[in-house]
Amino acid sequence: MAPPAARLARLSRTASFSACHRLHSKSLSDEENLKLFGKCNNPNGHGHNYKVIVTVRGEIDPVSGMVINLTDLKEYMQQAIMEPLDHKNLDKDVPYFAEHHRERCSVHLGKPQEAPACGNAL
């Protein structure tokens, strides 16, 4: 008799954070930047409220009944999202954005990763 197929599930958790940045191109003059980006080119930056949904998919552990321990996921999101990004100036406080356009938050956060301590995918 074949072993039962693994039970798969998805679990999502939402986090919200606020951050600021400035739209500005070093290859343009100050006047060209102002014309292109308008108020988003303010030297002091402008802010956004971001919502991130992290989904873990994987096999349900037959002993715990969980895809991932919610406390572990919460701690991971705190370290990976909240601490580096919440209430930060993305231009100055987050190294990734020194080299990449600040509007690429979804690219930065959207890279698939392995969930800590469980082997399931985020």
- pLDDT single digits (tens) 60-75: 999 999 999 999 999 9
Cα–Cα distance for residue pair 76/78, rounded to 1 Å: 5
Is pLDDT of 120 > 50? no
pTM, two decimals, is 0.74
Region of 47 on the Ramachandran plot (φ > 0 left; ψ -120 to 50 alpha; else beta): beta
Residue 111 to residues 46, 88, 97, 106: CA-CA distances in angstroms?
Answer: 25, 21, 15, 9
